Amino acid sequence: MKFEQAWLDYTGKVFCDGADEISYIHLEIQEKEQDEVIKNSVKELQNAFAGLTGHKLTLHEEGLSGGDEAAYTAADAGAGLHKIRLVLQKGMPAESYRLYTEENGITIEASDSRGILYGAFDLIRQVKTGNSIKDLDRTKSPVMPMRMLNHWDNMDGSIERGYSGESFFFENNTILVNDRTDTYARLAASVGINAVVINNVNVKDAATWLITERYLDKVKELSDVLAGYGIQMYMSLNYAAPVELGELDSADPLSEDVRGWWKRRMEFVFRKVPNLGGFLIKADSEGRPGPFTYGRTHADGANMLAEAAAPYGGNIIWRCFVYNCQQDWRDYKTDRARSGYDNFQGLDGKFLDNVVLQIKNGPMDFQVREPVHPLFGGLKQTNQILEVQIAQEYTGQQRHLCYLIPMFQEILKFRTYIKEENDTVEDIVSGRTFRQHNCGMAAVANTGNDVNWTGHDMAAANLYGFGRLAFEPELSAEEIAREWIFMTFGKDSQIEETLLFMLMSSWPAYEKYTSPLGIGWMVNPNYHYGPSVDGYEYSRWGTYHRADHMGIGVDRSHEGTGYALLYNEPNASVYDDKRRCPDELLLFFHHIPYTWMLRSGKTVIQHIYDTHFEGVEMVDEMIERFMKLQDKMDKVKYRRIVERFMEQKENAEEWRDQINAYFYRKSGISDEKGRDIY
């Protein structure tokens, strides 16, 4: 299937002061240190400059044949920038680089090949976004040590919660390694991704066999392609593999047989696939097997695997998305939001160093608004990864525009008060708070084999943005959006202004026309698209809004489930008190009368009506502005985006009308502005 290059499209000349002068690459890296990553950096620079400036950069390797010293020296003697020097310089932190302009060229300096690659992509970014390269001096060091994408791809080619076509890693229970793999690796590396999990956390059927002879040659091939771009490949693991592969009748983590089995298996896998980073595990969650079956803890399970993987430098990433998915909706005491904390907080300090707990950003499941997961600030001696979802499962499934970087930024900036300083989520997962190295951010990926990779062309901003944010969280969401716009659509002020407006309005708009004030859900069960206010209300999933004729919301205060008290002070008291709780989370924490006056000065019911009308108006405005780009933009992309927006508009109106009608009928309170409510 054919595919586009997303933001790495190098066709079409750009205007960038200085770029036209560059004519060659000076590789000052010894031959023995020229790994695939260095070679790919050179290739990328050559391709980018050829496309963007029309200059084919020759390669000059010091001390090697092929370099015409005299010609290069003569070139350097003239005025202007002539070369890009690539230099390995010991002493810089891992993966960092310095990119700077000298008298007659640009230098990329790094202490490892990943740093060179990131510097090369940064230089390309400067050129493509039209920044002058005549006065560069940038030193960058990635803030998050692990910057991961988690693909929920199944081996039959389907993608769980995939909204951009089928998998490009798997087809008919085989592994694909082709041109697309290479471009995928380039796209990921260009925004600083350094780890990728290729298969769904729900490991079933053929995927259980990924750690066996049947697949390992091809696994290695794939891992080598990714490694060539500085990306460590990970696989999701079936916790019960010894049983499901028919080799043992138990997966008890304290059984010597089971421990021995995993030691042999890890040795076998890592010897075959030396570039493998390790494994991601979803255990005792939504029907997946885990240590609970044997009366053991998650620490027992994770440590067993970690011990077996440790000799090969392997990591075990263990998910904290563990809850009772067989709840009785009549039960007001059990609270799904508590379960991650209740299952893992007591295990703090019990995990081996190569275990990393992966924690979703909120306690429920990637809703448009949730409080930050209380395990951030609840764990002091455990490596942690923040898991976000750029696959827009609950945020419009890449049919609606919902730029999520502003949300992720809010989460990163959240103060946990676990210490007096360096206590934000960003501090914790970047390793600053507790001096950790095995930590970072992971995003559930939003890619598939669609021609544009992400279904909605503008959903690519989330893929781009996630990587950029994990690398440099100090960038603002606007800066990231702007970069992506320039990289993808070129530098045109009307396109820039319009798309920036659309991206930045999209999360607030989506929040306004869907479920109100942090309560979440209200989506169609199973496929999670479109409104269904009671869809999850009488289900087993622990996802309730508890609306009646007087009010709505879940009491998670000290009088209710006590969830609010899982936070450190002062967060606990703020969330616990309905007068101090932020409006946007009020219904998450409290059951509130419709007539309650919000801090905004509106009643809850009027807020619901107003926001639902406003949300749709925002979509209308985005469409109106976008339509003006018709003659400015690539026709194909323009048409694809318009189609998505037509669906978004229709669906947003459906959300508005169903939500407003539902609450009008429940409460009997009219809209004070007298608008149509059905």
- Per the structure block, which two tokens stand in for 477? 């969401």
Q: Which of 95, 393, 426, 610 is catalytic?
A: 393
Is 286 annotated in the active site?
A: yes
Q: Which is nearer to ligand GCV, 25 or 241 (CB)?
A: 241
Q: Which is nearer to ligand GCV, 98 or 151 (CB)?
A: 151
Position 235, amino acid: M
- Shortest distance in whole angstroms from residue 329 CB to ligand GCV: 17
Q: Which is nearer to ligand GCV, 101 or 202 (CB)?
A: 202
- Shortest distance in whole angstroms from residue 318 CB to ligand GCV: 12
Query: 3-state class of 604 per DSSP?
Result: helix
Q: Quick check: bond before 311 cis, omega within 30? A: no
CA triplet 135, 136, 140: central angle to 5 degrees?
165
Counting every residue written for the chain, the total comes to: 678
Query: Chain-centre distance of CA 542, in angstroms?
Result: 25
- Shortest distance in whole angstroms from residue 358 CB to ligand GCV: 10
The C-alpha atoms of residue 117 and residue 662 are separated, in whole angstroms, by: 54
- Shortest distance in whole angstroms from residue 362 CB to ligand GCV: 12
Taking a C-beta distance cutoff of 8 angstroms, is the pair 222, 272 a contact?
A: no
Q: Which is nearer to ligand GCV, 201 or 375 (CB)?
A: 201
Q: Which is nearer to ligand GCV, 236 or 667 (CB)?
A: 236
* The 3-state secondary structure of 109-173, one letter per residue: EECCHHHHHHHHHHHHHHHHCCCCCCCCEEEECCCCCEEEEECCECCCCCECCCCCCCCCCEECC
Q: Which of 112, 252, 365, 450 is catalytic?
A: 365
- Shortest distance in whole angstroms from residue 201 CB to ligand GCV: 5
Q: Which is nearer to ligand GCV, 154 or 498 (CB)?
A: 154
Beta bridge partners of 523: 531
Which residues bind to ligand GCV, rule: CB under 6 A? 152, 160-161, 200-202, 282, 286, 321, 365
The C-alpha atoms of residue 368 and residue 519 are separated, in whole angstroms, by: 9
- Shortest distance in whole angstroms from residue 399 CB to ligand GCV: 17
- Shortest distance in whole angstroms from residue 300 CB to ligand GCV: 21
Q: Which is nearer to ligand GCV, 372 or 388 (CB)?
A: 388
Is 365 annotated in the active site?
A: yes
Long-range own/partner contacts, residues 466-469 (CB < 8 A, 24 or more apart): 466/149, 466/191, 466/388, 466/390, 466/405, 466/408, 466/441, 467/147, 467/188, 467/190, 467/191, 467/192, 467/193, 468/191, 468/192, 469/405, 469/408, 469/409, 469/412, 469/441
Phi–psi pair at 75, nearest 5 degrees: -60, -45
Is 342 annotated in the active site?
A: no
Q: Which of 217, 257, 286, 624 is catalytic?
A: 286
- Which residues are known catalytic residues? 286, 365, 393
